[in-house]
Structure 1
Amino acid sequence: MSQVAKAVAPDPRNSDQGLFKYHDEVLWSLSNPARYLPAEAFDHLLRSIRLSAAVPGQANLTAPFGVDVSYGPDTFVVYEAYRGQCVVAFDEPFESIQFCQGDMLVVPCQTRHKIMAPEHTECIDIRDLMARQVEPHLTDRYGRPSLGLLLEQRVNYGGGGELFELRMVIMFVDKQTSGALINGLPGPMLLNGFADKHRCLLNAIFDELGVERVSKSLTQPAAIRLAEALLTIALQEVASQPERATIYKGLADPAVARVIAAVLNEPQKNWELQDLVDVAHICRSALNSRFIASVGMSPRHFVTHIRLTRASELLASTRLSIAAIAERSNYSSEAAFNRAFRKWCGLTPGAIREASTGVS
């Protein structure tokens, strides 16, 4: 006889009732579903995605055209090829791609790129183009800057030939969260046919933002939530591709994924190898071999890598003292932190801070 899930009537005196179960596994609950967080590391990481701001944009580019684009360390962008095609070129080691109607392109933070048709067309810097076409129109009649006016702008540029219509969402990472899925991107990721597959979602996002703008009720919280929905689905697609980066590859192994999720959730914890073994539910030798095979480093090295990656973000984005960052990174002294950091990336924390922020 086949097993079926049983519905248990909720009892306010017992918070474990009101559950739909298969054997002992909770399938669904009449109580708050946040009580039953997903077990998979990838789901855990998707739930942790937080943006601090999101700005949609549109551009009509006519051949020949070329735009040189670069964003800051907390900014990345999702492009949709809405109509036509172009070439997107990147600095080494990434190869140029053909970006065609219906495709989506995820460009990580600090990834300079050139959008061109045809390839090798001379490019205008995006900052010069924005200063010329957008910035003069960003203040209302009282001289105050207006986000609504910004979102009304559509960039028109090029030589008047074949049209390439581009839609985009520029996203700003919330540095208070790990951003593991974002930081773990191996590079620019082309998602062939993604925009066609998710046409209803994309149209709904841009339509809703348009409605809010016209009704003068545009708020960043709404834009952020819509952008996070798009980003979540895009990163799921990225994770299914064979050229995934370190974190993405590790998520394919359930035991390794559990360790990744635990370390990302509490990087400051004093992780001993036995702690990681307990999280993985496999023996030490199996965890070590499977971690190296899928992630490319041992569990201990992964803990160090995550801690120092977080430390480098703090060095670049805050004015915390190096001693305070060392303590947050679970190092016993600033000297020990300096030695570990230099071994990890070849530079001292002070050099990273000076190069990133100009703060010595």
Structure 2
Amino acid sequence: MSQLANAIAQDPITLDQGLFKYRDEVLWSLSNPARYLPSEAFDLLLRSIRLSAAVPGHANLTAPFGVDVRYGADTFVIYEAYRGQCVVSFDAPVEPMNFCQGDMLVLPFHTHHRIMAPDHTPCIDIRDLMAAQVEPHVTDSQGHPSLGLLLDQQVNYGGGGELFELRMVIMFVDKQTSGALINGLPGPMLLKGFADKHRSFLNAIHDELDVQRGSRSVTQPAAIRLAEALLTIALKEATSQPDTGPIYNGLADPAVARVISAVLKEPQKDWGLQDLVEVAHVCRSALNSRFMASVGMSPRHFVSHVRLARASEMLTETTLSIASITERSNYSSEAAFNRAFRKWCGLTPGAVRAAATSVSKLAPS
């Protein structure tokens, strides 16, 4: 039972004019359920995930087969073993995994991997496979590359033996605003039986993604939200796995989790180290050491990271002036904000805003 549940058992929730309250905090409102905000840091981190595009994929691979795969630095992938089984191997020190029907595989950024059946089958580079099988079919009648035709392609490859059917969702993420849960994954995560457990949900998502794919755009809001829903449930499932990495370990440490939750709720607050110590209910040295051990950065660095990630979202998703974003990010001057932001992501706030504006002008109406 959670700490909140234990507390409620001693001090019950009250109902006051359509508001469910615990002490003075509104937990849920009959008039506006969106007022509910979970107290758990993990739930707040899930809410922070944002994708810029999502593409469904399907491959029919017949034994013997081997495919060597590398995705871009901004690409996050979820595989589903829809039918059959194979072996997925990785660069050392990650051990090979048996990937069987009903399983889900979550692959973080920069995860070089090989999909094979049987094990040790020679692999074709995915780029060569795409060049041979897909690229000849993605030009229109005028010979111009067509995104719509690309999205309609399905990969069929192998020696004609036992079938392994792979479904996937390829997600494109701005790494600076992708959220701690994505950046914090230590490596590939195999979720045994996940697809069987969520079969109706997965089928509905892929059916709707196929409909959205017909619109010939990978940036459709509906497709992105569907992919975010899948990613959210997969990451939540991942918390039950052992050795899930720094941010997950941080959420398992009550003192660190309290700080993460507090900062995410009020990133604009002028958080001093003593404020964070009071939230954590531990001494300064203990908080620093536990934060470094679990999250991989100091509490103050974490505060800056959250503020600048939120600032990046405001630069790309709103029309707020940089001066206004500076103030909301709790920086004393635009010059100080510019220096901190450039150190954080390598670009100035103005450059990020200009890039986002150029992309929006190119987007289909």
Name the TM-score class by shorter chain: 0.7 to 0.9
Q: Per-residue CA shift, 1:54-76, capped at 9, x if unaligned?
A: 10000000011010000111102
Q: How does 1:129-278 map to 2 (within 5 A)?
A: 129-141=129-141, 143=143, 145-213=145-213, 220-261=220-261, 272-278=272-278
Q: Which moved more, 1:131-140 or 1:117-126?
A: 131-140
Partner Cα separation in structure 1 for residue 184 and residue 146 of structure 2? 34
- Preserved contact between residue 270 and residue 330 of structure 1 (Cα < 8 Å): no
The count of residues paired between Structure 1 and Structure 2 equals: 314
Q: Per-residue CA shift, 1:89-121, capped at 9, x if unaligned?
A: 111121111111100000111111000111111
Q: Taking structure 1 as the reference length, what is the TM-score of the superposition?
A: 0.75
Residue in 1 aligned with 2:353? none
Q: Which moved more, 1:252-261 or 1:168-177?
A: 252-261
* Inter-CA distance 213–330: structure 2 relative to 1 (3 Å threshold): closer
* Inter-CA distance 176–2: structure 2 relative to 1 (3 Å threshold): closer
Structure 2 stretches lacking a partner, 5+ long: 1-8, 313-333, 347-365
* Inter-CA distance 182–4: structure 2 relative to 1 (3 Å threshold): closer
SS in structure 2 of the partner of residue 251 of structure 1: helix
* Inter-CA distance 2–119: structure 2 relative to 1 (3 Å threshold): closer
SS in structure 1 of the partner of residue 275 of structure 2: helix
Partner Cα separation in structure 2 for residue 190 and residue 123 of structure 1? 21
Structure 1 stretches lacking a partner, 5+ long: 10-17, 314-323, 342-348, 350-360
Residue in 1 aligned with 2:63? 63
Residue in 2 aligned with 1:357? none
* Inter-CA distance 104–28: structure 2 relative to 1 (3 Å threshold): same
Shift of 1:259: 2.0
Q: Which amino acid aligns with 1:221?
A: P
Partner Cα separation in structure 2 for residue 58 and residue 157 of structure 1? 12
Q: Which moved more, 1:287-296 or 1:99-108?
A: 287-296
Shift of 1:271: 5.3
- Preserved contact between residue 107 and residue 187 of structure 2 (Cα < 8 Å): yes
Partner Cα separation in structure 1 for residue 170 and residue 108 of structure 2? 11
SS in structure 2 of the partner of residue 51 of structure 1: coil
The reply to whether residue 40 of structure 1 matches residue 40 of structure 2 is yes
Partner Cα separation in structure 1 for residue 225 and residue 194 of structure 2? 20
- Preserved contact between residue 268 and residue 328 of structure 1 (Cα < 8 Å): no
Shift of 1:208: 1.1
Q: Which moved more, 1:203-212 or 1:133-142?
A: 133-142
Partner Cα separation in structure 2 for residue 62 and residue 184 of structure 1? 34
* Inter-CA distance 259–21: structure 2 relative to 1 (3 Å threshold): closer
- Preserved contact between residue 108 and residue 185 of structure 1 (Cα < 8 Å): yes
Q: Which amino acid aligns with 1:161?
A: G
* Inter-CA distance 164–225: structure 2 relative to 1 (3 Å threshold): same
Residue in 1 aligned with 2:127? 127
Residue in 1 aligned with 2:52? 52
- Preserved contact between residue 247 and residue 260 of structure 1 (Cα < 8 Å): no
Q: Per-residue CA shift, 1:95-148, capped at 9, x if unaligned?
A: 111111100000111111000111111111101111111122223445554444
- Preserved contact between residue 88 and residue 113 of structure 1 (Cα < 8 Å): yes
Partner Cα separation in structure 2 for residue 244 and residue 34 of structure 1? 30
Percent sequence identity over aligned pairs = 75
* Inter-CA distance 250–88: structure 2 relative to 1 (3 Å threshold): same
Q: Which moved more, 1:59-68 or 1:130-139?
A: 130-139
Residue in 2 aligned with 1:319? none
SS in structure 2 of the partner of residue 166 of structure 1: strand
Q: How does 1:104-123 map to 2 (within 5 A)?
A: 104-123=104-123
Q: Which amino acid aligns with 2:116?
A: M
- Preserved contact between residue 71 and residue 112 of structure 1 (Cα < 8 Å): yes
- Preserved contact between residue 62 and residue 161 of structure 2 (Cα < 8 Å): yes
Q: Which amino acid aligns with 1:247?
A: I
Partner Cα separation in structure 2 for residue 281 and residue 329 of structure 1? 33
- Preserved contact between residue 74 and residue 109 of structure 2 (Cα < 8 Å): yes
Residue in 1 aligned with 2:87? 87
- Preserved contact between residue 246 and residue 293 of structure 2 (Cα < 8 Å): no
Partner Cα separation in structure 1 for residue 252 and residue 127 of structure 2? 40
Q: How does 1:270-289 map to 2 (within 5 A)?
A: 272-284=272-284, 286-288=286-288
Q: Taking structure 2 as the reference length, what is the TM-score of the superposition?
A: 0.74
Q: Per-residue CA shift, 1:293-335, capped at 9, x if unaligned?
A: 644676457668x59x98xx9xxxxxxxxxx99965749xx9x
- Preserved contact between residue 55 and residue 218 of structure 2 (Cα < 8 Å): no
* Inter-CA distance 189–131: structure 2 relative to 1 (3 Å threshold): same
Residue in 1 aligned with 2:330? none
Partner Cα separation in structure 1 for residue 131 and residue 49 of structure 2? 32
* Inter-CA distance 224–302: structure 2 relative to 1 (3 Å threshold): closer
* Inter-CA distance 40–295: structure 2 relative to 1 (3 Å threshold): same
